[in-house]
Chains A and B, each alone.
Chain A
Amino acid sequence: QKEVEQDPGPLSVPEGAIVSLNCTYSNSAFQYFMWYRQYSRKGPELLMYTYSSGNKEDGRFTAQVDKSSKYISLFIRDSQPSDSATYLCAAEYSSASKIIFGSGTRLSIRP
């Protein structure tokens, strides 16, 4: 079993829709949770960084962590074609430690 599981997609939604991306993890020792966006042939871009359980909002993006169910979510409101990319969830045990990535979900926003 992978430590962080993510549905690879692809996921295709119309422009303006709310997108929900999800991951599960197996190790309750994870404390920090991240979402990255990666465009083709580019490095991953950090979108959201959260510590422990709770919600965090940044513009059109909302990250949720539920440690009781070991569930990580990213919501994108008013999705745009420019949001089309691969989204990677990730977790780490402590600062400056190994980041464990999910396999990534390919998202396509149709104009």
Chain B
Amino acid sequence: DTEVTQTPKHLVMGMTNKKSLKCEQHMGHRAMYWYKQKAKKPPELMFVYSYEKLSINESVPSRFSPECPNSSLLNLHLHALQPEDSALYLCASSLSRTGDSGAHFGPGTRLLVL
């Protein structure tokens, strides 16, 4: 299994809603990432979890809250978002037991904040 799966595929939420994005990988990777991508721009790093511990937080606003329940799962909890947070949210994983071979991305969740 070489896939990273993300749910939901699309999400529309109001500025007062609370929602969560979910990511799962079964490649035995020990690092997982959240990236944000705006149209016609490259992905921008938000968070990195390494061995289930938060290792990098790119000064992301607190309305985004990551969670890594176990080595296969990664969540991103959303609360009180702004319209400018509308974007494609990408999950990725890397760092297998045999060494690193690059980060594999999921298909993304397309988020629209109204």
Chain A interfacial positions (CB closer than 8 Å to B):
32, 34, 36, 41-46, 49, 88, 95-99, 101-104
Q: Is B108 an interface residue (CB 8 A)?
A: yes
20 A-B residue contacts at CB 8 Å?
A32-B102, A41-B110, A43-B107, A44-B105, A46-B102, A46-B104, A49-B100, A49-B102, A95-B31, A95-B94, A95-B95, A95-B100, A96-B31, A98-B48, A98-B56, A98-B58, A99-B33, A101-B42, A101-B43, A103-B42
Contacts of B31 in A (CB 8 A): 95-96
Q: Which residue of A lies closest to B108 (CB)?
A: A43
Residue pair B56, A43 in contact (C-beta under 8 Å) = no
Chief secondary structure at chain A's binding surface: loop
Contacts of A49 in B (CB 8 A): 100-102
Query: What's the minimum C-beta distance from A30 to chain B, rounded to whole angstroms?
Result: 14
Q: Which residue of B lies closest to A51 (CB)?
A: B100
Q: Known contacts being A44-B90, A96-B95, is A104 close to B42, with CB within 8 Å? A: yes
Q: A43-B4, A88-B43, A102-B42 are in contact. List 16 more A-B contacts (CB 8 A).
A: A34-B103, A43-B106, A43-B108, A44-B90, A46-B102, A49-B101, A49-B102, A95-B100, A97-B56, A98-B56, A98-B58, A99-B33, A99-B43, A99-B45, A99-B103, A101-B42
Query: What's the minimum C-beta distance from B11 to chain A, rounded to whole angstroms?
Result: 15
Query: What's the minimum C-beta distance from B35 to chain A, rounded to whole angstroms?
Result: 8
